[in-house]
Structure 1
Amino acid sequence: MGKALLGLAGAAVALAVGAGGAVAQDKLKVGFVYVGPISDHGYSYQHDQGRLQLEKELGDKVTTTYVENVPEGADAERVIDQLAAQGHKLIFTTSFGFMNPTLKVAQRYPDVKFEHATGYKRSANLATYSARFYEGRTIVGEIVGKMTKSNVIGYVASFPIPEVVSGINAMTIALRKVNPKAEVRVVWVNSWYDPPKEAEAAKALIDQGADVIVQHTDSPAPIQAAEERGLFAVGQSSDMTRFGPKAHLTAIVDDWGGYYVDRTKKLLAGGWKSEDTWGGIKDAMLHLAPYNPAIPADVVATADKTKADIVSGARHPFAGPIKDQSGKEVIPAGKSATDEQILKMDYFVEGVVGKLPK
């Protein structure tokens, strides 16, 4: 908690001074709360890139503050409350575990607007937003399905919540379409950002025969582990090529800047309202990092077509028939999973090895 408060105070002072004394007080104060460090080169890093874009585009109208390394739980509530008490009128909280703390603080500050990433609880002054990460994982599934030689894909996962589970399933479904013999092995690290645990998980998966590592955690440690072993990997949230130039096939890159600019403009114009935003590739809330030159041209062509089909609506990542691990049909032929079903996904599909923690 001490570090979070020090980070908050430091950021506030630096930004106020940089903005030029009393002039800064006339600007809209926008706050950001991150679960990891902005140096994670993954999820929190990308949210901060969005904050910087907001400053660049609306710098004469806003001043921003960020707090990094905020644990999910009581600490988060105190940090969010302090931002509101310090006069921030728009606050973005960027991790699933910040959901209840954000709601509690929003109830205490009805004149402040709050935005929570990846959650589902809203109120008159609390909106939610997320990206359809599973769309990117569908494209990744086809790529890794063609690149694997061992037919074992390792998946370093954070927490068994629907956002993560749907990503594993989307990748596995696409993987098995192009390579029916392939399987996915998952190791849970129960953390969004823990480089040692992420590296250990990646190495354990490699020892189990995985020759491609995919992750839904925030550090580049799994990429580095794959690079050390001479294998392939897929990055998370940002382009992680520099951490494993030979290993890095691509990455699912989150792009929050446009959303942050749009929502701030709406508040400045008096048109902000509580709503849920769930954007995908079509909405430019995510894209894929440049492909590794090692990926054959025909595989790139397949990936590009899948991307185009997702954008046009010709392909749904969860189009039936889909069976779970037990062989039970969960999505029938001719149907696709609804948004509600994706947001509540609590099962693994065929092709995933291991049980889903409950």
Structure 2
Amino acid sequence: MRRFPALLSALIVGPAAMLAVPSAAEAAVPDVVRAVRERLATGASVQFTQYGSVEINSRNKYTNHTARVFRYNPMQEGTLVLGRGGVVAASITRRVDFNRHLLPLAKERAAEGDPVSRSLLAQTRPHRWINTKGRFYTTGRLWTADLPQGKTWARRGNRGAGATAFGDHVINIFELGTLKALIADADEKKFNLPNPAGKTADLKRTGYYRGSLTFAELYALSPTFRQVAGKRPDASYANKVVSWTLYFDAKGLPFKFGSGFSTQEKEKYYTQGGATTDIVSWGPPRNIAPPRPNQVGVVRAPADGLPEFDDLAELAQVKAPTTEPAWESS
């Protein structure tokens, strides 16, 4: 199994310690693909929360041989509506968080003209995302600042709801072909693991699959990632490894999913990032309405010429600095 830095491993692995040791008489493993397929067939809705962690080492600063780390946390919460083809609609609130010790560095980098830092600071205010019938709408500072007066929603073009929902992950577990392939190629699986903290009978016994694949392999496998990436991964990140862990209950329904990547062990100036999604509840079919047409303006790119920088594929392509960073003294 590939090794990952502690920060990213904690994010992806999540509650593994909670799962403890399987019993000697391990029960048959539930069929996760079948459980998800049944929910897709009923058009179920999903309430979820998501927490991520991203570090861009090339934007660190160094004072007296101590690093000031460029790290932030993308966070989401919202509702997904499922259909036979996967995620068919999404209503999501997303924002980027810098803790108070790390925010000053992001502001310094932005003041120096770094477009990524400027984009991320704009995203510290909540942004709403709605995707319905393949149309992607956003309201929030990064996208609406240049809209005409009275327009509060930006139409970002056509994009699958799954690509909207899983940009911070880049692995869509509601894409049945992708889910089936991941499980078939998993490096590790456990089931019938006691979970005393489980709030329902189905969560008293849980299990997980764990594995990894490269961005190039994910591109070949997943229509969602092909939309997120926009084009085939180039040499800068095609062979970078994405690690994932999927947790499921006694009936095979997923309740937590984590994924991420890191180049820390291979590159001097590394990037790493990932996210963990908690499925808060499964619900009946529901409708997600688009914004009213008179509120919507069409946009081609974020305001002020800034990069989107709101998905893992963009992060994976961050390049190392062209010059060595200077050591500062206080």
TM-score in terms of structure 2 length? 0.27
Higher helix share: 1
TM-score in terms of structure 1 length? 0.26
**Structure having greater relative contact order (Cα 8 Å, sep ≥ 6):** 2
